[in-house]
Amino acid sequence: MCSFDRDLQIIRYHTPSLDRVAKPFIVMMSALPAVGKTYIAKRLCAEFNCVHLESDFLRNKLIGTTANHGYTEDTRLFKAILARGEELVQEGNCVVFDSTNLREHHRQRIYDIAGRTNTMLFIFKVVCDLEEIQKRLKKRQLDPQNNSQADYEVYLELSLWVEPIKHKHTLLNSTDENVYEMAASVIRKGLQEYGN
């Protein structure tokens, strides 16, 4: 078995197929670390019965604690995540791609999956003020359930990579107490228009 097939098997094991729908959809999160994208993604998955493709969690399962977030590792991880996402959509599953997706060429891979599978795509760019991010980063370093290795230095480095999103998307501020409801209402409205 080649390494990609083995990687995809591991990702499949941790992202089982759920109830299938006639018209699945894709959600793409785009955000820097600690802004709240995974919180929103988990709630969307629970309400809309989506498979959660959380890159930090899957990196830990695929690479383990030796993860270095380098180019080779990222390429390996996202090749398997994207393949699994497309496979899930083709099986009739709704999917949430939960990773930073800061650069347009990274997002393009998800645009392409939506295009190839003729699937509705919801894009959420999540932001948060810097003071709140610093608090969250300190707090989550103490959380044993936290899958991310990102600290404030990583946040600052990644902030230099942010590129504008060229496709229609919704901007969410995670400090807004209604942030989840705002995201969910975008999906509900889209599904009504789409006829789900």
Question: Of 189, 143, 148, 139, which Cα lies nearest the Cα of 57?
Answer: 148
What is the mean pLDDT of the segment spanning 89-116?
97
What is the pLDDT at residue 2? 65
What is the pLDDT at residue 158? 80
Alpha helices in 49-129 (DSSP H): 55-62, 71-90, 104-117
What is the pLDDT at residue 145? 60
Q: Give the whole-number percent of the chain exceeding pLDDT 70.
A: 88
Using pLDDT thresholds of 50, 70 and 90, give the confidence band for residue 130. confident
What is the mean pLDDT of the segment spanning 185-195?
91
3-state helix, strand, coil in the chain (%, to 5): 50, 15, 35
What is the mean pLDDT of the segment spanning 7-24?
94
Phi, psi of 139 (to 5 degrees): -65, -40
State CA 103 to chain mean position distance. Answer: 13
Among all chains, which residue has been given the structure tokens 């959660």?
52
3-state SS class at 71: helix
If one compares 195 and 25, the residue with the highest pLDDT of the two is 25
First-last CA distance in the chain: 39
pLDDT beyond 80 at 102: yes
Q: Which domains does the chain have, with CATH numbers?
A: 3-191 (3.40.50.300)
Question: Which strands sit side by side in the sheet containing 25-30, from one edge to the other?
Answer: 50-54, 94-98, 25-30, 120-127, 170-173
* pLDDT tens-digit map of 53-94: 999 899 989 988 665 667 788 899 999 999 999 999 999 999
What is the pLDDT at residue 142? 60
* pLDDT tens-digit map of 132-179: 877 867 776 665 565 555 666 776 788 888 999 999 999 999 988 999
